[in-house]
Amino acid sequence: MTVTTVTSVSDICRSAKRAARELAQVDTARKDAALMAIAQALIAHSDEILHANDRDMEAGREAGLGDVLLDRLMLDETRIVGIARAVQQIVALPDPVGEVIEGRRLPNGLDVRKVRVPLGVVAVVYEARPNVTIDATALRIKSGNAIVLRGSSSAEHSNAALVRIAAEAAVGAGLAEGCVGLVAGGGREELAELATQSETVDLIVPRGGEGLKAALQKVASVPVIYAASGNCHVYVDASANLDQALEIVMNAKTQSPGVCNAAETLLVHEAIAEAFLPRIAGALSAAGVSLRVDARTREILTTQAGAGDVSAANGAASASGELSANGAAPAEGFPVTALAQATEEDWATEYLALTLAVGVVGSVEQAIEHIGRYGSGHSEAIVTRDTGAARAFQLGVDAACVYVNASTRFTDGGELGMGAEIGNSTQKLHARGPIGLRELCTFKYLLTGDGHVRS
């Protein structure tokens, strides 16, 4: 199957608009069949995808991309299988199109239904991650939308291969030509052109850093949902189970440091700081994490590293290595000289790397205040056994996802049972948190009467 090739931004968007009108009326069975065809095509053409990705990886290494960015760019057989499975998981999700949100009969007998409908044409602008190409495409098809993709130049060959394979599979399964389009080859001027296609594009979702967000804010006339930065915090409260706290902090920071739901700041209550900070600092150091610390954190780590052990009064291990009830242990070999002083900029930074800002606070209220000042509204976590502190944190923290005794890494459409997602909105209008199927729909009112006229 040959898919019509169009080159200009306006042509791609017009083609998508035509396809969107048809997609809005396609039934669930045909959309699911198209998704299954895409999943199968990805596996069948994995060699082609890997060859294209090898070209991007080679170019990335030559351009000096860091290890984190290269990892985000890299595809292998396992990742392709994972992408295909994510498409199949979307097939298993309920179709949001046509869902009745509410319905009622007015006193005059007029029936009113509020139903979910596709947005139309959704453009996604994203950086580095070729998996987003398929995640976004699958979500758009299931929600009855056409999609226009604009990836970064670093994934040029990977994205081109993935879009061609997905588009051919979708059209071969009976969807309209133009339902999947790729804008590629231009610079910022191309982004500006896409962002002003208000006659054909209904929504843009940028998935990238603050630079991309700022560039769109300057020019966009199309509505935008920003899947933007994640300056996420983990706060360890006075009553926390320190074993749990260590596991949560390590997972939130080190499992995948280059993603928006990774922790960038650790806040520790002063009541357990002397017990917990040496232990977590040692674990973070062993994992290659560098720390930017406030004065109190530096004092605690410097004092205890110099002493060689932590006193039982602080609730940690003695020189014998025995742990107290709260499970703390000394930070053996922690390189105190590697501690950097945290600046105002550090508290506000999304590192996307193995760097963590660390501070001591006097209460849950101080933690909430700190998060309110520096957080980006993405994902915030408290570790505590105090239900009052947990409730105060849930009510006081203004973020899309607020966790109690869990890692911030769960802010993900797949993890939250929404299937793949195309980003996490930090806005409050229409969509907040993971942008999944329902967030890619709007609604309309369907009204049925029997000769009704307004008097």
* DSSP-assigned letter for residue 286: H
Do residues 295 and 317 share a domain? yes
Do residues 259 and 165 share a domain? no
CATH number at residue 97: 3.40.605.10
Q: What is the pLDDT of residue 249?
A: 98
CB burial of 362-392 (b: ≥16 within 10 Å; e: otherwise) equals: eebebbbebbeebbbbbbbbbbbeeeebbeb
Do residues 183 and 255 share a domain? no
Q: What is the pLDDT of residue 329?
A: 44
Do residues 96 and 37 share a domain? yes
On whether residue 56 sits in a domain, the answer given is yes
On whether residue 172 sits in a domain, the answer given is yes
On whether residue 213 sits in a domain, the answer given is no
On whether residue 225 sits in a domain, the answer given is no
Do residues 145 and 264 share a domain? no
Residue found by looking up tokens 């000042």 in the block: 373
pLDDT at 315 over 50: no
Do residues 309 and 406 share a domain? yes
Over residues 40-83, the pLDDT tens digits come to 999 999 999 999 999 999 999 999 998 878 998 999 999 999 99
Q: What is the pLDDT of residue 307?
A: 54
pLDDT at 263 over 90: yes
Over residues 175-190, the pLDDT tens digits come to 999 999 999 866 778 8
Over residues 89-147, the pLDDT tens digits come to 999 999 999 999 999 999 999 999 999 999 999 999 988 789 999 999 999 999 999 99
Q: 3-state class of 355 per DSSP? A: strand
The domain tally of the chain equals 2
Do residues 359 and 426 share a domain? no
**Which position has the higher pLDDT, 325 or 446?**
446
Do residues 240 and 379 share a domain? yes
On whether residue 364 sits in a domain, the answer given is yes
On whether residue 441 sits in a domain, the answer given is yes
* 279 conformational bin, left if phi > 0, alpha if psi -120 to 50, beta if neither: alpha
Q: What is the pLDDT of residue 323?
A: 36
Do residues 390 and 441 share a domain? no
SS3 track for 147-172:
EEEECCHHHHHHHHHHHHHHHHHHHH
Q: In what helix (H) or strand (E) does residue 175 lie, and over which residues does it extend?
A: none
**Which position has the higher pLDDT, 229 or 157?**
157
Which pLDDT band holds residue 422 (cuts at 50, 70, 90)?
A: confident
Do residues 175 and 241 share a domain? no
Do residues 433 and 372 share a domain? no
On whether residue 329 sits in a domain, the answer given is yes
Residue range(s) defining the domain that contains residue 366 = 232-410
On whether residue 201 sits in a domain, the answer given is no
Do residues 33 and 161 share a domain? yes
**Which position has the higher pLDDT, 325 or 366?**
366
CATH number at residue 323: 3.40.309.10
